[in-house]
Amino acid sequence: MMLEKGSRLVMIGDSVTDCGRDYNAAPAGWGSYGDGYVSLVNACLTGLAPEQKIMVVNKGVNGDTIRHLKNRWQQDVIDLHPDYLSIMIGINDVWRQFDGELQQLEVVSPQEYEQTYCALLEQTKPLVKNIFILSPFFMELNRNDPMRRRVEEYAEIARKAAKKYQLPYVDVQARIDRYLQSLSYFYISGDRVHPNLPGHMILAKAFLDEIGLEWNQR
């Protein structure tokens, strides 16, 4: 497995990562994991690989864009001294372009998204053993859907950033698309953005496969 024994893994992102975590809980304490993929990752690492003694810290915040991540990066990443970091951000950067027009919100352009992502990676890569880039995703197979097209644009930026800095890229969208070949998004989400428990299992499995958790030997 890619995570070394006794490692600290910080998982940062938006509401998909947050998933109801207790902001007042101690890192890796009761209530700190939320009810989503971070909790499932922690459950699998703790239950299936107890000898590894991995500490998992959830630093997702509802509604965040990459601009918000930048503003809290020092406190929620650097100050926690992670050995490993996973980042999944981008859906709100896109979504606000579709649901924020009447609020006249200042949206995150592709250029800002790319520049900020790269700046955060440059700052953080020397301080950690590895960073896992998880793609933003949208639960819609129709690639002509305007929001699906826009999410793909931002996911491609994340992919290129991962390649530029030689970091693992977890294509969550591909996992979602594979699922949608069999069943409707109604089974894993109410709004095509926020997964339910089966949807979060897809995300968790994608991450755990990337780090090399050996499911069949447990």
Reported as type and span, the H/E element at residue 85 is: strand 84-88
Among residues 124, 123, 115, the alpha carbon closest in space to that of 93 is found at 115
Catalytic residue among 7, 14, 15, 64: 15
Q: Measuring CA to CA, how many Å separate 70 from each of 120, 151, 175?
A: 7, 20, 27
Active site residue 15: yes
SS3 169: strand
Catalytic residue among 83, 145, 177, 194: 194
Active site residue 191: yes
Residues pairing with 10 in the sheet: 57, 85
Task: Tell me the C-alpha distance between 198 and 37, whole Å.
Answer: 10
Active-site amino acid positions: 15, 191, 194
